[in-house]
Amino acid sequence: MSESNDKLIVTKIKDGTVIDRIPPGKALKILEILGIDSNYPYTVAIALRVASRKMKLKDFVKIRGKALTTQDTQKLSFIAPTATVNIIVDYKVQEKQYLKIPEHVEDFVDCINPNCVSNAHEPIVSSFDVVSKDPLILRCVYCDRLLDQKYLNRKL
Amino acid sequence: MIPRNLFSTRTISKDFVEQIFSLASKIESNPDQFADKCKGKILATLFFEPSTRTRLSFESAMLRLGGQILGFTNAKVSSAVKGESIADTLRMINHYSHIAVIRHYIEGIGEIANKFASIPVISGGTGSQEHPTQALLDLYSIKKEFKGIENLSIGVMGDLLYGRTIPSLLFALAKYDNIDLHLIAPPALKLRKNVALRLKENGFKFNTEENLKDILPDLDVLYMTRIQKERFPDPVDYERLKGVYQISTDDIKNAKDRFIILHPLPRVDEIDYAIDKTKHSRYFEQALNGVWIRMALLLKYLGLD
């Protein structure tokens, strides 16, 4: 990684995922959501609060050897809705995904209600409808309780 | 269309509600005509939480219809203490009865019933989420009194946060037009956000108040609720809020002549005993209406109406 004038240059990765245009300060949370910590065996580059033409400031992460699941991108969309996900194959962007907040998510986060059946020992998974995208509000399909952005930031 | 199970008044139609009222009214005027309707049918009463009126009125309803009952009134005598899931309990009950009523402190079990029950399952109350059959008997009581539910001024007072009868009552009232609804509660016990959002999505407007005094002269119905001691996470909060709303005969002296007071019962100290003798009290008649409504529900869900 080097910086010439005010341009930050980060080495390309051969195969993996680049998550760009992350709202400033959220990159570490995104790595946490993706389960990437100090034990991750491949190269990970993190840039925090770098200059961006579109966002003024942004974060980005480059993760070698990581492909995101649908659930990963759903979680990212709740924490960093402006982010883009670039799938890198042989140093080239094979696919660029713009995150979209889904209408419904399952087995994603625990319900806020300790008495919700999804938190009991039952043969079901947690299930939520997205009732508002801005501000973000999820509604439990089972107990009807609402989950807000603050709760999701804490729990994801 | 009849929903497979009954766990919410939000998901049933006004037409269905009116069909239940019409059948309840027929039963009430001539119960003997229905005495053998459920002969050979078994109702399972699965009560994982205490109950007096709901369980007894369901059992009374089934016995009056000529059916039989089985079940338990204490979770400690069921396999729940061994860790059995609600899903597995319902899978068993499918084989033992033709219809079931379940009361549980766990919320959202309607979805479990939809997935795992092959017989109709009716909620007898789930946590602080809903109590749909109570709402139906509440509205039936109002309808009997005023010959309709529309164009009334209704106050709902007390524990709007934890009282499970409240969401069901409001979702049911939201099916009717031109209701002047006043929700009266201290800030700490106001309506849950999810319930308020559902009402907003339905275009159902209401006023929120902290004092009964100013609006009492306009009310046709006052629906009182108990502060739900058992649902408070912190007993200190209960001690702080208990007794926050108590009404006496003095408090209702400016009420309309036709004004009535309803209460899902049990009451603690929110309605003074002296009110029982006034022309405004209807909570004991309301409890009796529970039998007619539950008879109608059993017949409807068993396809015997």
Domain carrying residue A12: 2-98
Amino acid at B131: H
Contacts of A38 (CB under 8 A, 6+ apart): none
Look at residue B81 in the predicted model and tell me its pLDDT. Answer: 66
Say what the pLDDT of residue A6 is.
61
Cβ-defined contact of B105 to A144 (cutoff 8 Å): no
Residue B100 and residue B22: Cα distance in Å, rounded?
23
User: Hey, is the C-beta of B114 within 8 angstroms of any chain A C-beta?
Assistant: no
The per-residue pLDDT for A108 is: 86
- pLDDT tens digits, A35-62: 999 999 999 999 999 999 888 999 999 9
Q: Which of B83, B129, B197 sits opposite A121 (nearest CB)?
A: B83
- Cβ density class B23-59: b for 16+ within 10 Å, e for less: bbebbbeeeeebeebbeebbbbbbbbbebebbbebbb
Residue A5: the pLDDT is: 58
Residue A92 and residue A147 in one domain = no
Chain A residue with minimum CA distance to B114:
A142
Instruction: List the single residue in A117, A140, A145 with the smallest CB-CB distance to B106.
Output: A117
Rounded-to-integer distance, Cα B305 and Cα B301, Å: 9
Residue B272: exposure state from Cβ atoms within 10 A (0-12, 13-18, ≥19): middle
The verdict on a CB contact (< 8 Å) between B129 and A144 is yes
pLDDT of residue A4: 55
pLDDT tens digits along B234-261: 777 777 777 678 899 999 999 999 999 9
B80 touches chain A (CB under 8 A): no
pLDDT tens digits along A100-134: 999 999 998 999 999 999 999 999 999 999 999 99
Q: Compute, in degrees rounded to 10, the torsion defined by CA atoms B150, B155, B156, B157.
A: -170
Is B106 within 8 Å of A141 when comparing Cβ atoms?
no
Quick one: average pLDDT of B46-60? 93
Phi, psi angle pair for B208, to nearest 5°: -110, 135
Going by their DSSP bridges, the two strands B68-72 and B260-262 should be labelled as unpaired
Residue B49 confidence (pLDDT) above 80: yes
Residue range B212-223, pLDDT digits in tens: 998 999 999 999
pLDDT number for residue A153: 85
Q: Which residues of A touch B197 (CB under 8 A)?
A: 131, 139, 146
Task: Please check whether residues A93 and A126 belong to one and the same domain.
Answer: no
> Last residue of some domain: A54, A72, A98?
A98
Same domain assignment for residues A6 and A82:
yes
Q: Which of B159, B139, B135 is nearest to B243 (CA)?
A: B159
In terms of domains, do A77 and A150 share one? no
For the cut 60, the answer to whether the pLDDT of residue B232 exceeds it is yes
Q: What are the tokens at A149?
A: 């952005």
Residues A88 and A127 in one domain: no
Between B20 and A9, whose confidence is greater?
B20
**Separation between Cα atoms, residue B263 and residue B222, nearest integer Å:** 8
Whether residue B99 has pLDDT greater than 70: yes
Hey, which residues does A29 pair with through a beta bridge?
none
Residues of B marked active site are found at 53-54, 82, 103, 131
Residues A93 and A119 in one domain: no
Share of chain B above pLDDT 70, in %: 97
The complex scores an ipTM of 0.91
Question: Which two tokens mark B59?
Answer: 């059992």
Closest CA to B72 of B58, B86, B87, B55: B55
Domain identity same for A115 and A85: no
Distance of CA A17 to the CA centre of its chain: 12
What are the backbone dihedrals phi and psi of residue A96, each rounded to the nearest 5 degrees, phi first? -115, 125
Mean pLDDT of B41-58: 93
Q: What pLDDT was estimated at residue A10?
A: 80
Let me know how long chain A is: 156
pLDDT at A106: 94
pLDDT at site B249? 95
| Same-domain pairing of A86 and A108 | no
The arithmetic mean of pLDDT across residues A64-91, rounded, is: 94
Q: Is the link from the previous residue into B235 a cis peptide, with omega within 30 of 0?
A: no
Looking at the fold, whether A33 and A48 belong to one and the same domain comes out as: yes
**Three-state helix/strand/coil letters over chain A:** CEEECCEEECCCCCCEEEEEEECCCCHHHHHHHCCCCCCCCCCEEEEEEEEECCCEEEEEEEEECCCCCHHHHHHHHHHCCCCEEEEEECCEEEEEEECCCCCEEECCCCCCCCCEHHHCCCCCCCEEEEEEECCEEEEECCCCCEEEHHHHHHHC
Residue in chain A nearest B110 by alpha carbon: A142
CA distances from B200 to B21, B94, B197 (A): 26, 37, 5
State how many domains chain A has. 2
Q: Do A54 and A108 belong to one domain?
A: no
- A64, A110: one domain: no
Q: Which of A119, A96, A141 is nearest to B8 (CA)?
A: A141
CB B48 within 8 A of CB B75: yes
B109 interface with A at CB cutoff 8 Å: yes
Q: Which domains does chain B have, with CATH numbers?
A: 14-131+288-301 (3.40.50.1370), 133-284 (3.40.50.1370)
A17 touches chain B (CB under 8 A): no
pLDDT of residue B268: 85
pLDDT in tens, B170-188: 999 999 999 999 999 988 8
Q: β-pairing, B121-126 with A44-52? A: unpaired
Per-residue pLDDT at B234: 77
Split at pLDDT 50, 70, 90, the class of B52 is: confident
Q: Does B87 touch chain A (CB under 8 A)?
A: yes
Q: Which of A80, A98, A116 is the C-terminal boundary of a domain? A: A98
What is the CATH classification number for the domain harbouring A37?
Answer: 3.30.70.140
Q: Tell me the average pLDDT of chain A.
A: 92
CATH of the domain at A136: 2.30.30.20
Residues A16 and A85 in one domain: yes
Candidates B112, B111, B105, B96; CA nearest to B44 is B96
Percent of all residues in chain B with a pLDDT value above 90, rounded to a whole number? 82
**Is B108 in Cβ contact with A143 (below 8 Å)?**
yes
